[in-house]
């Protein structure tokens, strides 16, 4: 079927004992985003946000190696220069997804470069994670997390949907196991990832009439700089707390740090997420969700259990690691 022009199909198609009319076959091809697509000759274009490091960089490199032209959103020229050395098919561009001006500029650049071919994929990856007790978490920090992890992705998706339509493309959100199970001190981060679950489901159903797949790739703990950055910021928050608050939360926070350090030792590399993204982009009928790693599968499983039991299990798990 790949590369065929189904608009020119005149003869009926035989499937077992059933002869399907050409119009039905053409509609089925549109459903799978395969109509009039010559994969061998058409350049595949993808925008990856948050491509400076970690998961985003791994996705950019993997897709470039697979033959995609990758527009890689970064926030600094240093990151852009580094990406240019990794593959000639990676085209870095300045894109802070919380900046509407930069989103508009990126849309213009990509639109001109892609032309009528449009975008075959958008990978919404940018994100931040900061751990802090909700009682003392600055509201400005909560807003920043949501601006980056939720609103920014929605703004980018809204801006680039016309290019996705033009390219018969699909949309991938990088979610998290935290979108199923919320650990203590990650209130804002978990809330943002729960929100992405809702965004993905709603948008997928909204775009269903046009057969635009919307996919959520859901990693567990991954060896990336995001947690180290988040904990450095969290330590700054803790140091500024009143003595009473530090005494109240310090023991629990240190246990959480031990738990995450323990998990990072066995955590998969960012390349595992890149593999899942490539599978989602190559699949004729992609799944709605792609969990990555044992933790992600565990998080989905725990959602099926009674909440009280899950609370006890998480507390017991944290205590057992703290005693090691």
Tens of pLDDT along the chain (324 residues) come to 344 443 333 333 333 333 444 444 344 445 444 433 433 347 899 999 999 999 999 999 999 999 999 999 999 999 999 999 999 999 999 999 999 999 999 999 999 999 999 999 999 998 888 888 888 888 999 999 999 999 999 999 999 999 999 999 999 999 998 888 888 888 999 999 999 999 999 999 999 999 999 999 999 888 777 767 767 777 778 778 888 888 888 888 888 778 777 777 778 889 999 999 999 999 999 999 999 988 888 888 888 899 999 889 888 876 766 555
**Alpha carbon distance 173, 126 (integer Å):** 9
Q: What is the pLDDT of residue 116?
A: 94
Q: What is the pLDDT of residue 322?
A: 53
Residues 111 and 218 in one domain: yes
Residues 33 and 73 in one domain: no
DSSP result, 128-158:
------GGG--HHHHHHHHIIIIIHHHHHHH
The residues that bridge with 296 in the sheet, in sequence order, are none
Residues 253 and 139 in one domain: yes
DSSP result, 37-96:
--TTTSPPEEEESS-SSHHHHHHHHHHHHTT-EEEEEESSHHHHHHHHTT-TTEEEEE--
Residue 97 has which token pair?
A: 């997804």
Residue among 145, 127, 126 nearest 185 (CA): 145
The residues that bridge with 172 in the sheet, in sequence order, are 123, 215
Residues 19 and 134 in one domain: no
CB 172 within 8 A of CB 217: yes
- Bridge-based pairing of strands 170-174 and 18-20 is unpaired
- Quote the Cα angle for 59-34-13, to 5°: 150
The structural domain count of the chain equals 2
Residues 115 and 23 in one domain: no
Residues 116 and 26 in one domain: no
Residues 85 and 227 in one domain: yes
- In the residue annotation, 18 being an active-site residue is answered as no
**Alpha carbon distance 315, 313 (integer Å):** 6
Whole-prediction pTM value? 0.81
CB 19 within 8 A of CB 13: yes
> What is the domain-level CATH number for residue 243?
3.40.50.720
User: Containing domain of residue 134, as a range?
Assistant: 42-322
Residues 200 and 66 in one domain: yes
Residue tagged active-site, from 18, 189, 249, 290: 189
Residue 131 falls in which region: left (phi positive, over 0), alpha (psi -120 to 50) or beta? beta
Q: What is the pLDDT of residue 5?
A: 41
């Amino acid at each position: 079927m790949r590369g065929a022009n189904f608009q020119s199909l005149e003869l009926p198609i035989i499937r077992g004992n059933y002869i399907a009319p050409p119009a039905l076959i053409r509609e089925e091809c549109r459903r799978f985003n395969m109509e009039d697509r010559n994969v061998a000759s058409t350049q595949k274009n993808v925008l990856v946000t948050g491509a400076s490091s970690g998961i985003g960089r791994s996705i950019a490199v993997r897709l470039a190696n697979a033959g995609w032209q990758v527009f890689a959103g970064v926030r600094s020229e240093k990151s852009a220069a580094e990406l240019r050395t990794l593959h000639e098919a990676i085209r870095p561009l300045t894109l802070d997804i919380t900046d509407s001006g930069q989103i508009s500029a990126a849309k213009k650049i990509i639109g001109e470069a892609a032309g009528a071919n449009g975008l075959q994929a958008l990978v919404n990856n940018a994100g931040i994670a900061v751990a802090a007790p909700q009682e003392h978490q600055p509201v400005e920090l909560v807003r920043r997390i949501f601006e980056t992890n939720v609103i920014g992705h929605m703004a980018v998706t809204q801006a680039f949907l016309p290019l996705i339509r033009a390219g018969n493309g699909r949309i991938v959100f990088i979610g998290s196991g935290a979108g199923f199970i919320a650990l203590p001190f990650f209130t804002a981060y978990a809330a943002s990832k729960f929100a992405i679950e809702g965004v993905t489901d709603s948008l997928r159903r909204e775009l269903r009439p046009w057969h635009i797949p919307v996919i959520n790739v859901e990693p567990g703990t991954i060896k990336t700089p995001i947690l180290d950055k988040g904990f450095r910021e969290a330590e700054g928050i803790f140091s500024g707390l009143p003595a009473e608050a530090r005494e109240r939360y310090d023991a629990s926070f240190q246990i959480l740090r031990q738990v995450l350090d323990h998990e990072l030792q066995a955590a998969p590399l960012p390349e595992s997420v890149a593999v899942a993204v490539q599978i989602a982009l190559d699949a004729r009928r992609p799944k709605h969700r792609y969990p990555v790693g044992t933790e992600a599968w565990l998080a989905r499983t725990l959602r099926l259990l009674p909440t009280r039991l899950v609370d006890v299990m998480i507390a017991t798990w944290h205590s057992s690691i703290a005693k090691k």
